[in-house]
Amino acid sequence: MLKFLPVFAFIAAGAFGYRIGYQRAQEKWQAQWAQYSAKQAQTLARQQAQFRVEEQRRNQAVKEVTDRVEKQLANANRDAADARSAAQRLHAQLRRYRHDAGASCDTGACGAGASAKTACDMLARLFAQSVARNQQLAAFADDAWRRGRACEASYDALTVR
């Protein structure tokens, strides 16, 4: 058995040397992996911060667009109310004209009173229908324009600069 002692010592020294080398390689690999992980974590944190800043910029831009569109909508509603009141005043004035035309023709002062009243009534109805339709078309056009501008402004706000 003593003959094999140097062989066993050599094998044991080799195994011990292998184990030490393996541990050093593992430690080196773990140190490199930890360095890589730390670098990845820093990169991730930096990117998340950049994305948060961009998200805040976009949210602020969309909020500004929304506020501006709401102001435009309020102005448009106010303008529409003004237009409606102007149309109502015109209708009232037209009713007075119709009434005056009918009253003057009922007295027999004008010979063509019935035809004048009928023509005046027809023009009044035509005017009322025209105003109503024009109000509908104007409301549709204003709404489409506002929505288009809001969409365009939102897109411009969200695009990367």
pLDDT in tens, 107-146: 454 555 556 667 777 777 888 888 888 888 988 988 888 8
Confidence (pLDDT) at 90: 81
Q: Percentage of residues in the chain with pLDDT exceeding 70?
A: 87
Model confidence pLDDT, tens digit, residues 28-48: 999 999 999 999 999 999 999
Highest mean pLDDT among 27-36, 74-83, 88-97, 119-128: 27-36
Closest to 112 in 3D by CA, of 126, 123, 122, 102? 102
What pLDDT, on a 0 to 100 scale, did the predictor assign at position 31?
92
Please give the model's pTM, rounded to 2 decimal places: 0.52
